[in-house]
Amino acid sequence: MTDFSIFGSKLCDGSGIEELMHDLGNALSSGGDDIKMLGGGQPGSIPEMNAIWRRRMEEIMETPGEMEAMVGNYDPPKGNPKFIKALAQLFSEKLGWDVTEKNIAITAGGQTAFFFLFNALAGRTKDGRRKKILLPLVPEYIGYANQSVGDDFFKAVKPKIEKIGEHQFKYRVDFESLQIDDDIAAICVSRPTNPSGNVLTDAEMDKLSALASQHNIPLIIDNAYGAPFPNIFFADANPLWNENTILTMSLSKIGLPGTRTGIVVAPVRIAEAVASMSAIVGLANSSSGQYIMEPLIRSGEVLTLSNEVVKPFYLEKSDKAQQWVSEFFDDSLPYRIHLSEGALFLWIWFEDMPVSSKVLYERLKERGVLIVSGSYFFFGLGDTEWKHRDQCIRMTFTMEETVVKEGIRIIAEEVKKIYGK
Ligand code: PLP
């Protein structure tokens, strides 16, 4: 028998995110046509973007020394200097952020960035306190949930729910319930939010940023789907960065998840800390995404691609998925879709559903449809009683139309049965 350490017992025995990635990877590699994979965060396959990646790979192969440098060299732990320079220029020139190369560090995907940041800032401190990460609004990204190497360190706050019309709703930060005491190490939000597709408004972000500054703690913004790239951002809102912000980005959702490239834009001390952790954990990061993307960042082409290809692609997918929901879901069913303001998912709430979302997940799995039970996204609330936690599902709309449409038809059929309609 293997006896794991405390660290081991936290990380070695599975998690919601592992189950999700396992289902996703298996369905993609061997699922065949029968599985309707609406479960993971797999970005869609966009022909125009695939053509760009192919072009870049050819350019790398044809440029003397480029391929050899990409696969044959270790980058510095902080990331590839040319890539970082191009990013700093893009952020300062195009977005007006006061950012230099010193503010940027690369990681093995956004997921790794969060593991580093959360564990560096929260958890047991030298003076014996247990610092926490405040999630001002849950549901929040499942991938954060199991990342603590020590005690659980999330403290989450229930949102206000604004019902919109017959079949829509939006979460809003409940500022009255937001308490920031001495044990809060940082505030964290994903924007657009995975799973709900919510985009916190500019006013909400300004308020959170002001609160963070007032308490001298950072505001961590997970910008995996946000602007300026991949810009899967449908709401009328703006990206935010200031000296008190830790912004994470990723090359995954623009179409390069296999390269595992995350970007942290942060105060210099934090960017240095991230580089230090990269060196200890992995020496350096994968270079391929940085090589593929660098000229596109330097020329600004990444902005045109994000605005004119990636965003319209997902906006259309979201619109179609919503149309199929209203087509297949009986109007008398008490369902509500969260406003789809960004990211890759529809988040559907079945008010007063007679079974839990986990049961619904199992029933759908038996019918070949993989979704994610919403319950996984409500961590950090302790034992708070809240029926809503078990009444939501997340479905991804990035797959081929036939898969998404048939998946939604089957979800509607099962839900009707559950409500006895
Ligand atoms: N943050 C959010 C909100 C996500 O949805 C994801 C992936 O789905 C990540 C971070 C991590 O992505 P990656 O590690 O591929 O950059």
Q: What is the mean pLDDT of residues 63-89?
A: 97
Q: Other C-beta atoms within 10 Å of 379: how many?
A: 21
141 lines ligand 1 (CB under 6 A): yes
The first and second tokens of residue 13, run together, are 């025995």
Could you tell me the domains of the chain? 6-49+305-419 (3.90.1150.10), 73-304 (3.40.640.10)
For a pocket test of ligand 1, which of 17, 23, 229, 253 has the largest count of ligand atoms closer than 8 A to its C-beta? 253
Partners of 107 in the beta sheet? 262
Is 257 a pocket residue for ligand 1 (Cβ < 6 Å)?
Answer: yes
pLDDT at res. 229: 97
Q: What is the 136 CA–ligand 1 centroid distance (Å)?
A: 19
Kindly report whether the global pTM for this prediction surpasses the value 0.75.
Answer: yes
Is the minimum distance from the CB of 342 to ligand 1 under 6 angstroms?
Answer: no
pLDDT tens across 209-221, in order? 999 999 999 999 9
Q: Does the CB atom of residue 314 touch ligand 1 within 6 A?
A: no
| pLDDT number for residue 25 | 73
Residue of the CA atom closest to atom 2 of ligand 1: 224
Query: 218 in ligand 1 pocket by Cβ < 6 Å?
Result: no
Ligand 1: centre distance to CA 1 (Å)? 34
Distance 369 CA to ligand 1 centre (A): 22
Q: Ligand 1 pocket, 374 CB below 6 A?
A: no
Give the model's pLDDT for residue 32. Answer: 59
Q: How far apart are CA 137 and CA 135, in angstroms?
A: 5
Q: What is the pLDDT of residue 28?
A: 64
Residue 38 CA to residue 394 CA, distance in Å, equals 8
Please say whether the beta carbons of 187 and 212 come within 8 A: yes
Q: Is it the case that residue 39 has pLDDT exceeding 90?
A: no
Q: Which atom of ligand 1 is nearest to the CA of 113?
A: 14
- Written as six digits, the tokens of 355 are 């079974």
Residue-wise pLDDT for 241-284, tens only, equals 999 999 999 999 999 999 999 999 999 999 999 999 999 999 99
pLDDT of residue 299: 97
pLDDT at 7: 83
Query: Sign of torsion, CA 16 18 23 25?
Result: positive
How is residue 35 written in tokens? 């599985």
Does 31 sit in the ligand 1 pocket, CB within 6 Å? no
Cα 140 to averaged position of ligand 1 atoms, centre (Å): 12
Distance 231 CA to ligand 1 centre (A): 14
Say which residue the tokens 């599975």 belong to: 14
